[in-house]
Amino acid sequence: VISVRTPQQVRCVVPNLKGKTVAQARRLLAAGRCKIGRVTRAHSRLARAGRIVRQSRRPGARLPRGTKVSVVVSLGRRR
């Protein structure tokens, strides 16, 4: 059996979300035919509050359409 990929079988192309807000990430993921996964929050010494510091999938990865990408959003510095 030979599998031939047609243009209609568009895949999820994971964008680089680091440094973006959750709203920006949602737009970028939709454009890449991916979905937002779990959004967790953690303190970060380097990133401003409200910015993504980590993502679950490697940027540029080509995955099945609708794949969820989880993110960690900065709470800012711990006081």
Residue with tokens 């959003």: 73
Q: pTM for the complete prediction? A: 0.83
Q: Which of 28, 15, 20 is nearest to 56 (CA)?
A: 15
* H/E run at residue 23: helix 22-31
The pLDDT of residue 8 is above 80: no
Measure the CA–CA gap between 68 and 48, rounded to whole angstroms: 24
Residue type, 73: V
Residue pLDDT, tens place only, 35-76: 999 999 999 999 999 999 999 999 999 999 999 999 999 999
